[in-house]
Amino acid sequence: MVVDSAFQPIVELRDGCVVGYEALARPADGSSPEALFATARAEGRLAEVDAACRAAALEQAASAGLGAPFALFLNADASALEHDVPDLPMSGLTLVMEITERALTSRPDLVLRTLTRLRTRGWAVSLDDVGADSRSLALMPLLYPDVIKLDLTLLAARAPADVARVVTAVGAEAERRHVTVLAEGIDSEEQLAMARAAGATLGQGYLLGAPAPLPDPLPEPGRPLRLAGGGGDVTGPLPYARVTNWRRPVCGPLALAERAAALLTAQAAALGPTGMLLAAPDRSHASERFEALRSELGFVGVLEAGELEDTWTEVALGPGFGACFVARRVESGEWAFATSYDRELVVECALALMARLPR
């Protein structure tokens, strides 16, 4: 198997300077990349082909002298990376691994684990193709991406209200985490104007440059890509300890605790496809009551009863809303419970639950 790469420039929208390139796989036999990966998936060789495409791109970039301060974006299949996260090659480039929105919505637990492992190896990460599925907005706060790529072609097919919801959620996340927003699919002046209106600072598309071999000489580089850095802590105290560390719990009968939990569940249901609910019931609560929400919310994840020792946790999260309910039975037979609406704390608790979802 021989694979070449084409490189599409990524441009700073404020001054038109090139800040980096995305490497796009091009099979040497002239077949389509889609056919290449479909065949690899069917033959069980996806990880091998995925790695070969990255290796070809890195080799061609090195041969062309592409180095700092440029960034190089490399595509990856999340399932191919599940068992084989590559080490960061020794180079001056800022290397960014792209994971698609489709992978996020189909296997959010897998994507979360993969991105965590990529960061520990030194990779920057990008969430690609955002705009097709509102469910990704529910999960975005858990990912801590360095770059969010808005796909203008996908957005163009959606209703204006949906576009506004996506753009607003991405903008809020970008401001909160200092994430860079990159608009892809800029093929016309109208789409360029849309990219700027959506708050993108970087752009990619045929209007700005078609996929091609790296130019010789390379252009004068623009400002280096700013990385958000950091990532959620999936280890440490359980959510009950995190919440009650600063918020004093209320003590009362089980019925009162269940009433407080029901309020959170109702709030989660109101989020619709842009919301998520994560739950870790204790052994006295069945998980079946969450099943009805699977058709209403973007994502519902439920741990086995008793997974978090003797505590009971529920987390609701969506654009502009976050809440975490925690409870545990105390010696008197009553329940100590509390609800936090501190978004950062809620995200920490959600990460702790997401990391424990069954594979």
Question: For residue range 203-214, what is the model confidence (pLDDT) as tens digits?
Answer: 999 999 999 999
Give the model's confidence band at 185: pLDDT under 50 very low, under 70 low, under 90 confident, else very high: very high
- Per-residue 3-state assignment (H helix, E strand, C coil) for the chain: CCEEEEEEEEEECCCCCEEEEEEEEEECCCCCHHHHHHHHHHCCCHHHHHHHHHHHHHHHHHHCCCCCCCEEEEECCHHHHCCCCCCCCCCCCEEEEEEEHHHHHHCHHHHHHHHHHHHHCCCEEEEEEECCCCHHHHHHHHCCCCEEEEEHHHHHCCCHHHHHHHHHHHHHHHHHHCCEEEEECCCCHHHHHHHHHCCCCEEECCCCCCCECCCCCCCCECCCCCCCCCCCCCCCCCHHHHHHCCCCCEEECHHHHHHHHHHHHHHHHHCHHHCEEEEECCCCCCCHHHHHHCCCCCEEEECCCCCCCCEEEEEEEECCEEEEEEEEECCCCCEEEEEECCHHHHHHHHHHHHCCCCC
32 or 146, which is more confident?
146
What does the pLDDT average to over 126-134? Answer: 80
Domains and CATH numbers, the chain: 3-204 (3.20.20.450), 239-354 (no CATH)
Question: pLDDT digits over 227-241, tens only?
Answer: 876 666 666 788 999
Say what the pTM is: 0.81
Whether 153 has a pLDDT exceeding 70, the answer reads: yes
* pLDDT value, residue 289: 74
pLDDT in tens, 30-52: 777 778 778 878 888 888 888 88
Mean pLDDT value of segment 17-23:
96
